[in-house]
């Protein structure tokens, strides 16, 4: 069977590359400047040095660069000097406001070069940053790091990018040195939007596990004992990721048949979870929120459809009440 190219939800190709690929003569290790040496910035710097990129760094606390300098990095005295040393500057700072505070004085030096921003934020902030970059003649990519610092540079270290494809392709080698680069599209805000959505999945999954574990702990069940059933059987079998992936087509089609279980039935279960939490003295805000969402969906006319119909409530769109 011929392998099919990876695509995003819109059917556009997504770049999937391994950072373990060696730097070859036709893809030289180009110079890179890195601004920001927090824990993640240090991990980025180490990955670039391991791949042989001439690296210039700048940080408001210069001493943080000492281990990198010992490995061959060059510490710039000013931001102007740092961004002028390389065609590509990667920024890993706290937020967009910090980005402007640090780079505004060096905007002229950045003109005609490329800035890759790996800060956290919102799509609107990414759009504002693109407008700022264009005003100064700077090529701009917005990005998001999807792994913790110890995994940076490894094969499974996914980095999300959005912005002009030509700019992404031009700097593909250093981006590949950091991890597995995924170009999600020209829309500058799509990378940070994906990042936010994926983090929401992480936190809500973790909260479900933590609250459920707290619930059984009220009966003196240890977390380890509960995990054997909850994580060893229930999650892989009942909350099956492959099944959820198949349900994605139903979400796109707004098709939520409720023959095997509708929202009214699920609301009954959520009411039990809420009452049990209260009776057992366990924090009940989370199940009460889930119950309130289901109640709203039923009130909006989704009661005879499957639980997936909550998707329409979350989108804030008009209801499609067709169960077939």
DSSP secondary structure string for all residues of 33-100: EEE--SHHHHHHHHHHHHTT--EEEE-SSGGGGHHHHHTT-EE-SSHHHHHTT-SEEEE--S-HHHHH
pLDDT for the residue 318: 46
Q: What per-residue confidence (pLDDT) applies to 141?
A: 98
Return the pLDDT at 184.
98
Confidence of residue 239 (pLDDT cuts 50, 70, 90): confident
Q: How large a percentage of the chain has pLDDT more than 70? A: 89
Mean pLDDT on 123-138: 98
pLDDT of residue 3: 36
Q: Which helix (H) or strand (E) covers residue 183, if one does?
A: strand 180-183
Out of 46-55, 198-207, 238-247, which region has the weakest mean confidence (pLDDT)?
238-247
Name the DSSP class of 105: G
Q: What is the mean pLDDT of residues 169-197?
A: 97
Alpha carbon distances (Å) from 59 to 78, 153, 160: 9, 21, 24
CA distances from 242 to 20, 167, 173, 236, 247 (A): 28, 34, 33, 10, 9
Burial class of residue 28, CB neighbours in 10 A (0-12, 13-18, 19+): exposed
Mean pLDDT value of segment 19-33 = 58
Q: What is the pLDDT of residue 240?
A: 84
Across the range 83-87, mean pLDDT stands at 97
Exposed e or buried b for every residue in 87-98, given b needs 16+ CB within 10 A?
bbbbbbbeebee
Separation CA 13–CA 7 (nearest Å):
4
Distance CA 208, CA 210 (A): 6
pLDDT at 16 over 60: no
pLDDT tier for residue 316 given thresholds of 50, 70 and 90? confident
- Helices 190-217 and 263-279, packing angle to 10 deg: 50
Read off the pLDDT of each residue in 119-142 and give the average, rounded to a whole number. 97
Q: Which of 78-87, 94-103, 243-252, 312-321 has the lowest mean pLDDT?
A: 312-321
On average, the pLDDT of the chain sits at: 90
* 2 pLDDT above the threshold of 70: no
Strand pairing partners for 91? 35, 117
Mapped onto helix, strand or coil, the DSSP state of residue 32 is strand
CA distance linking residue 303 with residue 312, whole number of Å: 12
Evaluate if residue 76 carries a pLDDT over 90: yes
Percent of the chain with pLDDT over 90: 84
Lowest-confidence region among 80-94, 134-148, 181-195, 231-245: 231-245
What is the pLDDT at residue 144?
Answer: 97
Q: Is the pLDDT of residue 198 over 50?
A: yes
In 10 A of CB 60, how many CB atoms? 13
pLDDT band at 28 (very low <50, low <70, confident <90, very high): low
pLDDT-based confidence at residue 19 (cuts at 50, 70, 90): very low
Kindly give, in sequence order, each residue whose CB lies less than 8 Å from that of residue 90, ignoring residues fewer than 6 positions away: 32, 33, 34, 35, 44, 116, 118, 174, 178
pLDDT of residue 44: 98
Residue 286 has pLDDT above 60, yes or no: yes
Res 91 pLDDT > 90? yes
- pLDDT at 107 (0 to 100): 96
């Amino acid at each position: 069977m011929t392998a099919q190219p990876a695509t995003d939800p819109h059917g556009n190709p997504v770049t999937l590359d391994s950072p373990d690929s060696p730097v070859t003569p036709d893809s030289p290790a180009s110079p890179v400047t890195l601004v920001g040496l927090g824990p993640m910035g240090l991990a980025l710097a180490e990955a670039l040095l391991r791949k042989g990129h001439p690296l210039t760094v700048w940080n408001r606390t210069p001493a943080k660069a000492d281990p990198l300098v010992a490995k061959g990095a060059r510490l710039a005295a000013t931001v102007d000097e740092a961004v002028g040393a390389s065609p590509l500057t990667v920024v890993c700072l706290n937020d967009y406001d910090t980005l402007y505070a640090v780079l505004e004085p060096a905007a002229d030096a950045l003109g005609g070069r490329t800035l890759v921003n790996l800060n956290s934020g919102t799509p609107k902030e990414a759009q504002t940053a693109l407008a700022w970059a264009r005003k100064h003649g700077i090529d701009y990519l917005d990005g998001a790091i999807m792994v913790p610092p110890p995994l940076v540079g490894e094969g499974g270290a996914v980095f999300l990018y959005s912005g002009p494809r030509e700019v992404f392709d031009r700097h593909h080698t250093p981006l590949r040195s950091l991890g597995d680069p995924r170009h999600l599209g020209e829309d500058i805000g799509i990378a940070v939007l994906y990042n936010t959505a994926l983090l929401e999945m992480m936190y809500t999954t973790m909260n479900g596990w933590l609250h459920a574990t707290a619930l059984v702990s009220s009966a003196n069940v240890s977390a380890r004992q509960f995990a054997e059933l909850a994580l060893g059987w229930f999650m892989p079998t009942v909350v099956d990721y492959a099944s959820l992936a198949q349900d994605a087509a139903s979400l796109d089609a707004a098709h939520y048949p409720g023959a095997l279980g509708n929202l009214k039935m699920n609301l009954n279960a959520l009411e039990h979870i809420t009452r049990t939490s209260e009776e057992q003295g366990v924090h009940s805000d989370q199940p009460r929120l889930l119950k309130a969402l289901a109640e709203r969906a039923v009130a909006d006319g989704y009661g005879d459809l499957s639980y997936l119909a909550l998707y329409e409530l979350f989108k804030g769109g008009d209801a499609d009440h067709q169960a077939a």
